């Protein structure tokens, strides 16, 4: 099912280049990028140390009914972390815009096309759900829970994530904690455009040094990686340096081009997929 070109990389993507927005449905616009090269960089080979999902929300989805009348919806896409590929976000936007003049029988026809095309690009099944305008009023907002790291008065000198900063006190009793920061910022690996996010870290284990963790997270400020890769880097670094028994990392990024991307990674089976509540910055 995986039809991705293994030579795909950020510098060969349409990101950061002038693009003619298509008015004809075209699944070939989707640009998959293999996950494994970045995981190799982290030393993650063989069995993944986590499971999880990338939750995409698309707020600019439109198509035509058979009489030519525009239809709109909010779409949610669930892409499993063990899929071979991520989908580059600008190509995702161009693909969604290719439906703008496409005549379809109904929503089910749109969902079927989306599932087929996105699953082929991701190399694994992608779950698609649509929210109609009549249900928009039922959508809710909510903030990530947890002890706010941003309350700490720290001095920051690192502008790239340094896992050596991370530590936990293994002389203290095991705790279960959820820590939260709204200060996550990374950059697009091609254009350098900023990606803003909030990150929630839930763990069971020795207490993590919170000041060091906040410094580490702020260290992403000039780091160039896609959203999914940043979350996996955070997960792997905390797991290796702090050795918690259980760990889950969830980031909610602000939208760009009508899309937001919200990766979640966990290593304990009792963990449930997180809520997809949109936060104030989204």
**Residues carrying an active site annotation:** 188, 195
CB-based contacts of 32, cutoff 8 Å, min separation 6: 3, 4, 5, 8, 84, 85, 86, 87, 88, 121, 122, 123
Burial of 20 (0-12, 13-18, 19+ CB in 10 A): exposed
Q: How many CB atoms lie within 10 A of CB 271?
A: 18
- Looking up tokens 């290719």 gives 98
The answer to whether the beta carbons of residues 261 and 227 sit under 8 Å apart is: yes
Pairwise CA distance, residues 161 & 224, whole Å: 11
């Amino acid at each position: 099912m995986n039809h991705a070109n293994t030579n795909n990389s950020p510098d060969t993507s349409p990101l950061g280049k002038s693009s003619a927005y298509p008015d004809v449905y075209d699944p070939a616009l989707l640009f998959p990028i293999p996950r494994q090269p970045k995981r190799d960089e982290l030393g993650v080979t063989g069995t993944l140390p986590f499971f999880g999902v990338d939750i995409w929300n698309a707020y600019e989805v439109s198509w035509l009914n058979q009489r030519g009348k525009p239809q709109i919806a909010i779409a949610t896409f669930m892409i499993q972390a063990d899929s071979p590929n991520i989908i580059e976000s600008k190509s995702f936007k161009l693909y969604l815009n290719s439906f703008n003049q496409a005549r379809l029988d109904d929503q089910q026809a749109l969902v079927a096309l989306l599932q087929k095309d996105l699953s082929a690009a991701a190399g694994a099944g992608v779950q698609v759900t649509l929210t109609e305008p009549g249900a928009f009023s039922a959508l809710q907002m909510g903030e990530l829970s947890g002890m706010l790291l941003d309350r700490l008065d720290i001095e920051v000198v690192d502008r790239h994530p340094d896992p050596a900063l991370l530590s936990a006190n293994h002389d203290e009793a095991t705790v279960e904690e959820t820590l939260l920061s709204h200060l996550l910022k990374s950059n697009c690996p091609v254009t350098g455009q900023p990606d803003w996010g909030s990150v929630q870290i839930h763990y069971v284990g020795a207490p993590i040094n919170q000041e060091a963790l906040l410094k580490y997270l702020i260290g992403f400020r000039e780091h160039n990686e896609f959203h999914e890769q940043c979350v996996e880097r955070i997960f792997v670094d905390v797991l290796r340096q702090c050795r918690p028994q259980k760990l889950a990392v969830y980031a909610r990024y602000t939208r760009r081009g009508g899309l937001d991307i919200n990766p979640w990674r966990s290593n304990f089976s009792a963990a449930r997929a997180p809520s997809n509540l949109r936060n104030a910055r989204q």
